[in-house]
């Protein structure tokens, strides 16, 4: 398990890198991704990622205010809510998970 501040820095940098890699690999501009649905760990991290990638915070699907950080279930719950939301229809979604051990998983989905 890595320390909280280190986790924040490592996760933020890794998620920025993975978002760029996924977009490039799939020939999609990062700005054209409609929703970013990250592991719901920390609003400050979402804000840092948004700043780094020059994205509006409105593109981040956030459920922290409802459930808090509920570990690995947070991304799945947020993804489920996003796809039930009419705004996510016919959109490109990016979902990502990050663990305390610095494991990372992501998916770029054309919905």
Question: What is the structure's pLDDT at 19?
Answer: 93
Question: Domain count of the chain?
Answer: 1
Pull the structure tokens for residue 53.
């990638």
Between CA 95 and CA 7 the distance in angstroms is 18
CATH code for the domain of 25: 3.40.47.10
Domain that holds residue 19: 4-110
Question: What was the pLDDT predicted at 3?
Answer: 57
* For residue 86, pLDDT beyond 80: no
The model's pLDDT over 32-83, given as tens digits with 9 standing for 90+, comes to: 999 999 888 889 989 999 999 999 999 999 998 898 888 778 888 888 888 8
- By C-alpha distance, which of 25, 14, 80 is closest to 49? 14
pTM: 0.82
Q: What was the pLDDT predicted at 33?
A: 94
């Amino acid at each position: 398990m890595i320390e909280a501040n280190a986790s924040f820095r490592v996760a933020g940098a890794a998620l920025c890198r993975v978002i760029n890699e996924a977009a490039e690999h799939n020939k999609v501009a990062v700005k054209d991704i409609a929703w970013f649905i990250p592991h719901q760990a920390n609003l400050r991290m979402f804000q840092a990622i948004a700043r780094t990638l020059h994205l509006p915070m409105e593109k981040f699907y956030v459920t922290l205010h409802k459930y808090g950080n509920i570990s690995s279930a947070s991304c799945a719950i947020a993804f489920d809510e996003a796809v039930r939301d009419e705004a996510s229809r016919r959109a490109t979604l990016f979902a990502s998970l990050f663990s305390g051990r610095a494991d990372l998983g992501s998916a770029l989905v054309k919905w």
